[in-house]
Structure 1
Amino acid sequence: MIAGDDVLCGTIAAVIARRHINRIIADIGASIPLDGKRDYFRLHQSRFADLLAAIPPDAGGRALEIGVNPGLFTQILVRAGYHVRGTDLFPEHRAELWRSLGVEVRRWNIDTEPPPYPPASFDLVFFSEVIEHLANPPIDALATIRELLVPGGYLVLSTPNQFYLKSRLRTMMDIILLRPFEHDEEFRRWAGLKAEARYYTHSRLYSMRQLCWMLEQSGFAIIRRRYCDPWERVGLEWHRLPRYPHRWLTKALLWSVTRAIPPARSMLLVVARRPPA
């Protein structure tokens, strides 16, 4: 009975934690002005919830968010009680928001520059939807993140899944229709990118095995790995069904398939730890 009670208590605690996360995210969403980033928030709110839920319960409160723009997840972290600092290629784009939040944001290109903070400055680092934009192989960047963490500190990392079902279906259609995998317009846009503008596009995607291997090569211990489905849920709000029935039903079918086949989901999420000293 003790084991059963432990499982029940753990389930109840998880439900309470998720409700708290959903409340924080709903509060931030309601506070976004009409001329703000509401569309971005609608697209990314499920990802934000997955990231917040992934934080280990014993993580400390000093958090670094790498790639803070447009600042919505930064607001969520502040509301959740973390002492947040951030880095970005263009911190000036949301300077007023950083001031209002009391968050220091420093310029940093993690792909090419030394870190703007000393080693062992943070208990927790968020590296969400960034690694796929790096032009160089990410192992050095991941090793730099490890050094920024205190011994025993955590990295929460997310990136699109190379084997997302929707992407694989699109590739199959390209093969059947004899189309190039990279459409001409997308290729020309990529070919014309210069300097830091190249970071606006994806350099490459990764599988879960590749991602975990790079983390281990960088000196991390993998604590948790999970296939998440935030992008499948976008557009499945009930009020959209009468307006876009065919699109809604297609999305619902895709979501039902990826729920049954986790490795086909849209996002990889890994929690890794710098080994304790």
Structure 2
Amino acid sequence: MRRRAASARATQALQTVQDAVFAQTDAAREWHRSNLVIHGLRYCADLDLVNGLAPEGPLLDIGAAPCHMTAMLQHAGYPVVGLDLAPQRVGPLIRTLGLDVRACDVERETMPFADGHFAGALLCETFEHLRVDPALVLSETWRVLAPDGFLLLTTPNVYSLPSLARFLLGRSVADPLSEFGKLRALGHMGHVREYSAREVRRFVEASGFAIERLDFRYDRANPSRRKRILNLAYHCVPRRFHRDIVLVARKIGSGAGPGLAPLP
């Protein structure tokens, strides 16, 4: 699917984050600004998806940094908690906007919340960064969600047109040296790997969720000539070759769930 024009509510939330970012020092702004340029429309699309799900209760944003989505959810009126490996990386923005972001290595630790605490959880553009135990992350997400709570998961599609083109040209989906280098440059892993929709579905269903929606999308707004050509190609191929996977699932049951413990 194409990304529809963002709602006024989402656009206002994005503007609030942009204003806060531009109030930071130049050194602090660089990472924020590049993320806002690349992901701003995606943030709006995800917020509109959350609005459509109409959650009644607190939300959890997993892998929150740079905390733009956390801030937009808060601006939209949702009680939201962010979890991040090292939230101090974006401490000035967290303090400026009064965000609740907590430190947690979600691949090695249990999440610091009671069972069934959240009405919904977002795992947006995070799954591809998990390098230790993505099954634990989904198991813990199931645990902290209320019965019928939703999971919104977005991640790059390994079978997108750009990825297939790289394979055909003898290149990897992402340069390993660059992606591992982000551990030191940014404090988190880059893209460990990208997944197919079938692989994401299997992970999510095995973790106790029922898939409510699974779709694909691409960003039509990038003005570069290369992107315009790519978007024309997207328009001509089945959706399964679009750039991103978008999945909405619901927690089913209220028993023990997957119940995975962190690896020793």
Q: Return the TM-score normalized by structure 1.
A: 0.78
Equivalent position of 1:210 in the other structure? 199
C-alpha change, 1:44 and 1:193, in structure 2 (3 Å) is closer
> Counterpart in 1 of 2:262?
none
**Aligned equivalents of 2:176 and 2:88: distance in 1?**
29
How many residues align structurally? 243
Structure 1 window deviating more from structure 2 (263-272 vs 130-139): it is 130-139
Q: 1:226 aligns with which of 212, 215, 220?
A: 215
| Alignment check: 8 A CA contact 2:128 2:155 kept | yes
1:129-177 Cα shifts (integer Å, max 9, x gaps): 1111112352232111011111111111111111110121122122xxx
Would you say the 8 A contact 1:89–1:107 is kept in 2? yes
Corresponding residue number in structure 2 for 1:145: 141
The residue that corresponds to 1:3 in the other structure is none
Counterpart position of 1:135: 131
Of 240, 252, 268 in structure 1, the residue corresponding to residue 245 of structure 2 is 268
C-alpha contact 1:78 1:101 (8 A) present in aligned 2: no
* 1:49 maps to which of 40, 44, 47: 44
Aligned equivalents of 1:146, 1:194: Cα separation in 2: 27
Identical positions, percent? 27
- Would you say the 8 A contact 2:20–2:93 is kept in 1? no
Other structure's SS at 1:54 match: helix
Give the direction of change, closer, same or farther, for the CA distance of 1:24–1:107 in structure 2 (3 Å limit): closer
Query: Which piece of structure 1 moves more, 56-65 or 82-91?
Result: 56-65
Residue 194 of structure 1: how far off its partner (Å): 7.6
Using the TM superposition, give the Cα deviation of residue 192 of structure 1 relative to its aligned residue in structure 2, in angstroms. 7.5
Higher gyration radius (CA)? 1
Query: How far apart are the structure 2 equivalents of 1:226 and 1:33?
Result: 34
**Preserved contact between residue 9 and residue 76 of structure 2 (Cα < 8 Å):** no
Q: Distance in 1 between matches of 2:88 and 2:137?
A: 23
The answer to whether residue 114 in structure 2 is matched with residue 125 in structure 1 is no
More helix by share: 1
Distance in 2 between the 1:201 and 1:61 partners?
31
Deviations 1:107-132 (A, max 9, x none): 11111111121211111111111111
Q: In the TM superposition, what whole-angstrom CA distance separates every residue of 1:82-131 from its partner, at most 9, and x where no partner exists?
A: 11111111111222322333322211111111112121111111111111
SS of 1:103's equivalent?
Answer: coil
- 1:65 and 2:61 equivalent? yes
Return the alpha-carbon distance in structure 2 between the equivalents of residues 153 and 51 of structure 1. Answer: 16
Q: 1: distance between equivalents of 2:182 and 2:70? A: 28
Pick which of 74-83 and 257-266 moved more: 257-266
Aligned pairs for 1:11-30 (under 5 A) are 18-30=7-19
Query: Alpha carbon RMSD of aligned pairs, Å?
Result: 2.8
Equivalent in 246, 257, 273 of residue 233 of structure 2: 257
* Contact kept in structure 2, 1:162 and 1:205, CA below 8 Å: yes
Mapping for residues 98-247 of structure 1, pairs under 5 Å: 98-174=94-170, 181=172, 186-188=175-177, 199-230=188-219, 233-234=221-222, 236=223
Query: Deviation digits for residues 12-63 of structure 1, max 9, x if unmatched?
Result: xxx9983432343244335531732223201101211221122243312411
Q: Which runs of 5+ in 1 are unaligned?
A: 1-14, 175-179, 237-247
Gaps of 5+ in 2: 255-264
Contact 2:108 2:133 in 1 (8 A): no
SS of 2:248's equivalent in the other structure is: strand
